[in-house]
């Protein structure tokens, strides 16, 4: 008989397999994930109602198939621990407090109370996806860059919108309109709900797609992309094409050892490196086009 409460299943994987394993945990029914970078690996923690022996077995089988998918099969775990209802709630919420990012942004989950001072902007984001609450260093960089680069009335493109946090932040910071793209239907649904909660639904359009012809016909003041290098680097030319004169591209999600790939891509696509920043194992940048 199942006990009342939750089972935490954790697994440590190579970084190239993190997104695939995170998606698998969500598809099995975890309402959210904790994600940490530990010793060059990604530690993922999923939560399942009641006992989760079958979920653990399914994950074990999935981990064995990673190499067939072209990903690293090296991993530690999975392991599981049972948490009583009140222990799960306390453990889950303890990882997500109020974040102060840049000059103006306050990111908080719905259960936290915060008093904003003059000029501060509050964004409410509950942890429902593997990434996108502001905790991850790549998301934090993008938020800081948006705080510096968004101007009143700007048109902004958010490629790989995830939870919608960057699109929401852009509107709060003064953007007139934002287009958020993601190929994951669940991400689009979550982003739309987060936009509604934050009162910016009318200024944000979300689309379950990539850079399609309709997007390429538009011109944006600013583009932001917090996605992995396999998607990001081949998209640089398209991102440049949709920018207005004097526009910027904020990008994040690269690993430090991919800096050479980034610099070669910039040269090939007529882009200048405006800002480069390392956060642990992650690399983020702000780009401009030649002649701006």
Q: What is the mean pLDDT of residues 245-264?
A: 89
Prediction pTM value? 0.74
- Residues 183 and 211 sit within 8 Å (Cβ to Cβ): no
Q: From residue 130, give the alpha-carbon distance in Å to each of 46, 127, 153.
A: 9, 8, 31
- 15: number of Cβ within 10 Å: 16
Q: What average pLDDT does range 82-107 have in this prediction? A: 74
pLDDT in tens, 81-93: 887 766 666 666 6
For the chain, list the domains and their CATH numbers.
6-94 (3.30.70.120), 131-289 (3.40.50.150)
Mean pLDDT of 73-77: 84
Mean of pLDDT values over 6-13:
88
19-41: per-residue pLDDT in tens? 888 888 888 888 777 788 888 88
Q: Which one, of 50, 46, 42, lies nearest residue 27 by Cα?
A: 46
User: 217 is written with which tokens?
Assistant: 């016909």
Q: How far is 286 from 284, CA to CA, in rounded Å?
A: 7
Rounded CA-CA distance 71/16 in Å is 6
How many Å is the Cα radius of gyration of the chain?
A: 19
Q: What is the predicted pLDDT for the residue at 195?
A: 96
What is d(CA 206, CA 216) in angstroms, rounded to the nearest whole number?
A: 16
Q: Under DSSP, is residue 207 helix (H, G, I), strand (E, B) or coil?
A: strand
- Compute φ and ψ for 122, nearest 5 degrees: -100, 130
Q: Give me the residue label for tokens 């992650």.
A: 282
Q: Are the CB atoms for 283 and 255 separated by under 8 Å?
A: yes
The answer, yes or no, to whether the previous bond of 26 is cis (omega within 30 of 0) is: no
Q: Please give the torsion angle defined by the CA atoms of residues 185, 187, 190 and 193, in that order, rounded to the nearest 10 degrees.
A: -70
How far is it, in rounded angstroms, from Cα 39 to Cα 50? 31
pLDDT at 130: 42
């Amino acid at each position: 008989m199942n006990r009342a409460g939750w089972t935490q299943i954790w697994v440590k994987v190579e970084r190239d397999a993190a997104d695939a394993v995170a998606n698998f945990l969500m598809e099995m029914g975890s309402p959210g994930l904790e994600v940490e970078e530990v010793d060059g690996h990604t530690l993922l923690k999923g939560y399942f109602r009641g006992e989760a022996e079958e979920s653990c077995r399914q994950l074990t089988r999935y981990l064995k198939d990673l190499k067939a998918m072209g990903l690293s099969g090296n991993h530690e775990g999975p392991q599981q621990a049972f948490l009583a209802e009140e222990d799960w709630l306390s453990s889950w919420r303890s990882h997500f407090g109020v974040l102060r990012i840049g000059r103006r942004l306050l990111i908080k989950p719905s259960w936290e109370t915060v008093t904003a001072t003059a000029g501060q902007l509050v964004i409410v984001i509950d942890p429902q996806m593997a990434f996108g609450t502001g905790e991850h260093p790549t998301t934090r960089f993008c938020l800081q860059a948006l705080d510096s680069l968004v101007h009143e009335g700007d048109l902004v493109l958010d490629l790989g919108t995830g939870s919608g946090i960057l699109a929401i932040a852009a509107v709060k910071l003064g953007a007139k309109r934002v287009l958020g793209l993601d190929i994951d239907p669940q991400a689009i649904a979550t982003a739309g709900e987060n936009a509604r909660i934050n009162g910016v639904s009318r200024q944000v359009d979300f689309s379950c797609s990539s850079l399609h012809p309709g997007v390429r016909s538009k011109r944006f003041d600013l583009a932001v992309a917090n996605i992995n290098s396999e998607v990001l680097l081949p998209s640089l030319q398209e991102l440049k094409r949709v920018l207005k004169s004097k526009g910027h591209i904020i990008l994040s999600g690269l690993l430090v050892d991919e800096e050479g790939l980034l610099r070669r891509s910039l040269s090939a696509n007529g882009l200048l490196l405006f800002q480069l920043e390392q956060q642990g194992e992650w690399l983020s940048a702000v780009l401009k086009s030649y002649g701006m």
